[in-house]
Structure 1
Amino acid sequence: MSTTSAQALFAPFRSAKLSLDNRIVMAPMTRGFSPGGVPGEDVAAYYRRRAENGVGLIVTEGTLIDHPAAGASPSLPHFYGEAALDGWAGVVGAVHEAGGKIATQLWHVGMTRQPGTGTNPDAASVGPSGLNLAGEKVGQPLTENEIADLIAAYAQAAADAKRLGFDAIELHGAHGYLIDQFFWRVTNVRTDRYGGDLASRTRFAAEVIAACRRAVGPDYPIVLRYSQWKDGAYEAKLAETSAELDRFLRPLVDAGVDLFHCSTRRFWEPAFEDGADLNLAGWTKKLTGKPTITVGSVGLDLEFTRLFKEGKGAGTASLGGLLERLDRGEFDLVAVGRALLSDPAWAVKIKQGRQDELEPFAPQALGTLY
């Protein structure tokens, strides 16, 4: 791949609320190197390293909102409390000093949390209907008062992110976690205003988005990450057709989403079997007019979910097809995950035509913070 062919990745991105030097996004990847929920200098250095090597926007790993059952491990970073927020202020400062931009991903894992885990092991896991991802009843449905408290926790985290200097927030509404559990018919069988058809099941997310918008004001970027697939249910779909996807997306746009991060396992796959070649990010942009981020095994010669299941490494892969799609405007930004985990200099190497120097992904990268 020549330097010229990579030009689309390095064109500036400009939207109404967000400006980036290029189209490369560091995908959020759970790391779990924050003892007691507090990110330290090693976390700041980890993100800074990608910023100083040319990543346009860094999205942090999922950070837990202020709720006792938000996460399943004491080493996952919190986004509440003085010590954790001070740690995140250090991360923001490090990234900005390196000339980068950074968004925090706000996260609640919902019913995927195993009982007895996390910072508050005695807390019950929560979800819309008390169902796990297999649709089995393992807890109690959230009450409307409990839902209101969760919405308030998201809004407080959004306000704190803006105060600390983050350039945007991303709400994690993908992969079968809390927000996605409200989206999905398998995990949301409520009969009140938070359940019902696909559009009705967006109400919780829409209220979270609207509350965050009130907390950060009209000019601050709000990103929503969503997916069709769920952890362990890779063939699941929220929307079977583009018409259903349109009904799903409209309430979220109306609530205040500025940019959609469309999570797929393989960026090159069409979203629907309708003869169109558009992937999920392509359809989302076409239907909403909003900028989108594509993601899914970018730069790898092996699908990233197989890396988890089989403990394999992966070699590098051509970006040709991706660049063609980006160049014709199918989507606006490209999120890179495992490739950036093994090689912090991935972006600058691509820009300078140094593909032969790219580091292949090795499983050992998951156990280090470099």
Structure 2
Amino acid sequence: MSQLFQPITFRGVTLRNRVVVAPMCQYSAEDGLATHWHMVHLGSRAIGGAGLIIAEATAVSPEGRITPDDLGIWSDAHVEALRPVVQFMRAHGAVAGVQLAHAGRKGARFRPWDGNGPLTDGRAWSLPGPSAIAFDTDWQTPEELDSAGMQAITQDFVNATKRAVAAGFEVVELHMAHGYLLHTFLSPLSNKRKDAYGGDLPGRAKFPLELTRAVRAALPDDLPLFIRISAVDWVEGGLDIEQSVELCRWFKEAGADLIDCSTGAVVPGEKAPIGPGYQVSFASAIRSQSGIPTGAVGLITDPAQAEQIVALGEADVVLLARAMLRDPYWPNRAAEALGAEPSWPIQYKRAVAKRRSAW
């Protein structure tokens, strides 16, 4: 019996299988509002059989965007634009999740296909950070956040959480990875503060933990809270797995239900040993040593590979990104390959080999 296609429950939410669509930026929103692109992009992955679909990094404020084209959830208009997308996903058996994010010092950029560097056309905005250190040469230098600024951003996340629930999302993920605002507080490479929000690991974790507790309090008790982290920075002197294991114990105590284990991207020039499943060991270590469920992500492409990760207890769910961009029906194809029952919609079943004779 395939373990990948067994259901799993977090608080009051049950996923039909352990295949999760990872949040992947589409840079296709208009003033932060979801468009037809989001309906088709996310909806097709629900039809494809995923257990959980996490919508892309969704900015909690206009200043929290990576690019001017990012998805957002800072007003009731954003809720109304997202609600039909969420309803479609849920109608086709998927749990709908959203990743709430603030880009921090990596914000105010062009889309990848427009150059990916800092905006130079007059549309840039001020960026916050734990310290006044730019991400790279010629990038905008952020303003060091004071306590009032941290409180305001925490409130933005709380408001976004309430709006996410109003839109119908059943899972909220906090983005604390890839060099965005909350990751820059956690990493000693980007947080050089001398006050209570810097220094050692407890100091660097203070703001992310305060924000986590505030978001958890804003979520209904029966809805789960996930956190995406960069488990290692891949740079000498940065976050390592020992620190991340400790961090995840604290996140569990603060009310998190799963750690989505990614890595890197806080500074340029990292040396990551990229290959199939190269981040799985971090999900396994955090799961066994922190006592919290984890998700594995990163060059997971083959059904047998994904099955093994879950069957061996290295992670509780498997998140797929580029593989799901290439094939929105990956979960149903994987179910067939692993001898599990796929969840093809009735409109598509005449194309499934074992049912073709009945049509």
What TM-score results when the alignment is normalised by the length of structure 1?
Answer: 0.80
Is this contact kept in 2: 1:22–1:55, CA < 8 A? yes
Cα distance, 1:120 vs structure 2? 9.2
Cα distance, 1:38 vs structure 2? 0.9
For residues 18-60 of structure 1, the C-alpha deviation after alignment (integer angstroms, 9 at most, x for no partner) is: 3111000001111111122111233112211111111000011
DSSP 3-state at the match of 2:201: coil
Could you say which residue in structure 1 is the equivalent of 2:310?
326
Counterpart-to-counterpart distance in 2, 1:110 and 1:119: 19
Could you say which residue in structure 1 is the equivalent of 2:334?
350
Cα distance, 1:173 vs structure 2? 0.4
Could you say which residue in structure 2 is the equivalent of 1:315?
none
DSSP 3-state at the match of 1:50: helix
DSSP 3-state at the match of 1:73: coil
Is this contact kept in 2: 1:79–1:157, CA < 8 A? yes
Stretches of structure 1 that go unaligned for 5 or more consecutive residues are 272-277, 300-317, 356-370
Could you say which residue in structure 2 is the equivalent of 1:113?
107
Aligned counterparts, 1:161-310, within 5 A? 161-228=164-231, 234-235=234-235, 238-242=238-242, 244-264=243-263, 266=275, 268-269=277-278, 279-299=281-301
> Is residue 21 from structure 1 mapped to residue 16 from structure 2 by the alignment?
yes
Give the number of equivalent residue pairs: 320
Could you say which residue in structure 2 is the equivalent of 1:150?
153
Cα distance, 1:229 vs structure 2? 5.0
Counterpart-to-counterpart distance in 2, 1:291 and 1:119: 44
DSSP 3-state at the match of 1:180: helix
For residues 178-200 of structure 1, the C-alpha deviation after alignment (integer angstroms, 9 at most, x for no partner) is: 00000011111111111111232
Is this contact kept in 2: 1:228–1:237, CA < 8 A? no
1:60 aligned to 47, 55, 64, which one? Answer: 55
Counterpart-to-counterpart distance in 1, 2:313 and 2:231: 22
DSSP 3-state at the match of 2:57: strand
Cα distance, 1:9 vs structure 2? 1.3
Counterpart-to-counterpart distance in 1, 2:99 and 2:63: 17
Could you say which residue in structure 2 is the equivalent of 1:99?
93
Is this contact kept in 1: 2:33–2:72, CA < 8 A? yes
Counterpart-to-counterpart distance in 2, 1:106 and 1:319: 29
Q: Which amino acid aligns with 2:52?
A: L
Is this contact kept in 2: 1:293–1:334, CA < 8 A? yes
Cα distance, 1:118 vs structure 2? 10
DSSP 3-state at the match of 1:340: helix
Counterpart-to-counterpart distance in 1, 2:85 and 2:276: 29
Counterpart-to-counterpart distance in 1, 2:120 and 2:281: 36
Counterpart-to-counterpart distance in 2, 1:334 and 1:98: 20
Counterpart-to-counterpart distance in 1, 2:258 and 2:336: 29
Could you say which residue in structure 2 is the equivalent of 1:71?
65
Is this contact kept in 1: 2:99–2:174, CA < 8 A? yes
For residues 313-352 of structure 1, the C-alpha deviation after alignment (integer angstroms, 9 at most, x for no partner) is: xxxxx44344223102121000011111121111111111
Is this contact kept in 2: 1:169–1:222, CA < 8 A? yes
Q: Which amino acid aligns with 2:70?
A: L
Counterpart-to-counterpart distance in 2, 1:236 and 1:49: 41
Matched-pair identity in %? 28
What is the aligned-residue RMSD (CA, Å)?
A: 2.6
Change (3 A) 1:12 1:120: farther
What TM-score results when the alignment is normalised by the length of structure 2?
Answer: 0.82
Q: Which amino acid aligns with 1:240?
A: D
For residues 216-270 of structure 1, the C-alpha deviation after alignment (integer angstroms, 9 at most, x for no partner) is: 133321100001356xxx546754353x33322222222111111001455634x
Change (3 A) 1:121 1:236: farther
Is this contact kept in 1: 2:67–2:108, CA < 8 A? no
Could you say which residue in structure 2 is the equivalent of 1:367?
none
Cα distance, 1:137 vs structure 2? 8.8
Cα distance, 1:155 vs structure 2? 0.7
DSSP 3-state at the match of 1:225: strand
> Is residue 141 from structure 1 mapped to residue 144 from structure 2 by the alignment?
yes
Counterpart-to-counterpart distance in 1, 2:226 and 2:257: 6
Q: Which amino acid aligns with 1:248?
A: L
Aligned counterparts, 1:122-141, within 5 A? 123-134=125-136, 138-141=141-144
Counterpart-to-counterpart distance in 2, 1:247 and 1:290: 11
DSSP 3-state at the match of 1:37: coil
Greater alpha carbon shift after TM alignment, 200-209 vs 111-120:
111-120
Change (3 A) 1:241 1:77: closer
Greater alpha carbon shift after TM alignment, 152-161 vs 124-133:
124-133
DSSP 3-state at the match of 2:149: helix
Is this contact kept in 2: 1:133–1:186, CA < 8 A? no
Q: Which amino acid aligns with 2:60?
A: I
Cα distance, 1:131 vs structure 2? 1.3
Greater alpha carbon shift after TM alignment, 322-331 vs 176-185:
322-331
